[in-house]
Amino acid sequence: MHSFSRRLLAAVSSTVVAVAGTACSGSAGAKGADSGTYTLWDPYPQFDKTSAWAKLLDDCGTKAGVKVKRTAFDGTDLSNKALLAAQQDNSADVLIVDNPVVSTLAEAGVLTTTDDTELDTSKADPNLLAAGRSGGKTYGMPIGANTLALYYNKKVLKAAGVDVASVKDWTSLTAALAKVKKAGRKGITFSAIGTEEGSFQFLPWFWGSGAKLTELDSPEGVSALTLWSDWLKHGYAPNSVLNNNQTNSWQEFASGDYAFAENGTWQLAAAEKADFGYGVLPIPGASGGTAAAPAGGEFVTVPVQGDSGRYATSRTLASCLTSAKNLYDTDTTLSYVAPTSEVQDKQVAASAELKPWVDAVKAAKGRTSDDLGTKYPRISERLWKAVQSALSGSKSPKDALTTAQDAVK
């Protein structure tokens, strides 16, 4: 199995910036349609020009008959630069951005639709493609996805007499945590920090209850926050979750003391190095099945250009990066589960360890799905504040979520 790099930023960043203007059309300057150089911006500064990713970009450029000039930014910087470039009519030809940012750029008029460029998205899993939709239009193609699941420590569970196959819903998971505590070991660790990471980690439980982000204080939503709150009250989860980011939470699990940890695909390399046997379980829904966890990962998009003659080559480049032939290599390089069933099957055939992750990605949901778009960051902030209030004991789960819903309104 190939090595999985930690791609925490790409998984959890929800960078949405205030937009003061929209993309303007005008002269494309020196970037004419006959230009032999096409620009691509991505959020992968960890990959230098000798990396497999950079070589793939060069190969796609060669096949399109052009040179690809690549610039890598960190996620937040990339969003701001994309907005500024659009205002100056100097956008990159191809832009790869974190999926929650797509709707922000789309609503600002920065991106073309896939109808405009005729980029084929037909093979993408609909649940992943939804993160790139806004106002009924699609603004790109997912290049890959990651999400959350439960890692478990086989040794701790065995010592506590827990059969992981029995964990199918919230009741059986909580019963397993009770057994683990009774055996003198630690239960579950996760991140409930007061940032987007806290919302990101709470969402599988929130969605797994049947709750919707448009009604934070529904009985279902309250049941999810009560679950977490009760875990802390009973000592099944540590108080440190209030300040844990996902890396801190992983470090607690890596100590070998905990039965379970909620974390992402990006920790697989670290899990393989752990000195204990581990397994992966999709996060269960309240009454069974796999809960929808938030989909991380990026979209390949084509920004608006003053010279529409450039779109044909931009589409060729985007199609190359997201073709079935290249997605396997791309997602191996980026440590992602592919966005199409065809390539997911190939990944599982090569690495059986990816099966629970493919299952989790198939059930995953975009944070901006349901046409939430740029409303999501405001909802998310209220949600993580509610989680903090309930877990710290300053408010009941119901009161915390009622406060959150009132604030969103």
pLDDT at position 332: 80
Rounded CA separation 126/119 (Å):
15
pLDDT tens by residue, the chain, 409 residues? 333 232 322 322 333 322 223 233 333 334 555 569 999 999 999 899 999 899 999 999 999 999 999 999 987 789 899 999 999 999 999 999 999 999 999 999 999 999 999 999 999 999 999 999 998 999 999 999 999 999 999 999 999 999 999 999 999 999 999 999 999 999 999 999 999 999 999 999 999 999 999 999 999 999 999 999 999 999 999 999 999 999 999 999 999 999 999 999 989 889 989 999 999 999 999 999 999 999 999 999 999 999 999 999 999 999 999 998 899 988 887 779 999 999 999 999 998 989 999 999 999 999 998 888 889 989 999 999 999 999 999 999 999 999 999 999 8
**Smallest Cα–Cα separation from 85: which of 299, 298, 304?**
304
Compute the distance between CA of residue 404 and CA of residue 399 in angstroms, rounded to an integer: 9
Do residues 227 and 271 touch, judged by C-beta distance below 8 A?
no
Find the length of the chain. Answer: 409
pLDDT attached to residue 1:
33
- How many CA atoms within 13 Å lie on the side-chain side of 46? 11
Which fold does the domain 8-145+296-363 belong to in CATH? D-Maltodextrin-Binding Protein; domain 2 (3.40.190)
pLDDT for 373 equals: 87
- Neighbour tally for 43: CB within 10 Å: 24
The H or E element spanning position 72 is: strand 67-72
Task: Characterise 357 by phi-psi region: left (phi > 0), alpha (psi -120 to 50), beta (else).
Answer: alpha
Q: Whose CA is closest to 394, among 70, 193, 34, 403?
A: 403
Domain span(s) for CATH 3.40.190.10 in the chain: 8-145+296-363, 148-293+372-408
Q: What is the dihedral of CA 40, 11, 246, 392, to 10 degrees?
A: 120
CA distance 213 to 383: 9
pLDDT at 33: 53
CA distances from 282 to 99, 118, 204, 208, 363 (A): 21, 35, 10, 11, 9
Question: Is the four-CA dihedral 317, 319, 320, 326 of positive or negative sign?
Answer: positive
pLDDT at residue 74, rounded to an integer: 80
Instruction: Give the model's pLDDT for residue 330.
Output: 81
Cβ neighbours, 10 Å, residue 87: 17
Name 254's Cβ contacts closer than 8 Å, sequence gap at least 6.
270, 274
CATH 3.40.190.10 fits 148-293+372-408, yes or no: yes
Tokens for 397, please give them: 């789960």
Any idea what DSSP says for residue 145?
A: B
3-class state of residue 350 by DSSP: helix
Q: Rounded distance, CA 102 to CA 87, Å?
A: 17
CB distance 221 to 169 below 8 Å? no
Query: pLDDT tens digits, residue range 207-241?
Result: 999 999 999 999 999 999 999 999 999 999 999 99
260 forms beta bridges with: 152, 188
Task: Kindly write down the DSSP assignment for every residue of 166-196, as one continuous string.
Answer: G--SHHHHHHHHHHHHHTT-EEEE----SSH
Predicted model pTM: 0.83
pLDDT of residue 371: 82
Beta bridge partners of 67: 37
pLDDT value of position 353: 87
Q: What is the pLDDT at residue 22?
A: 28
Phi and psi at residue 146, to the nearest 5°: -135, 165
Predicted local distance difference test score (pLDDT) of residue 32: 52
At residue 300, the pLDDT reads 97
Element housing 141 (H / E)? strand 141-142
Q: What is the DSSP letter of 337?
A: B
Non-local CB neighbours of 373 within 8 Å, separated by 6+ positions: 103, 104, 106, 107, 134, 135
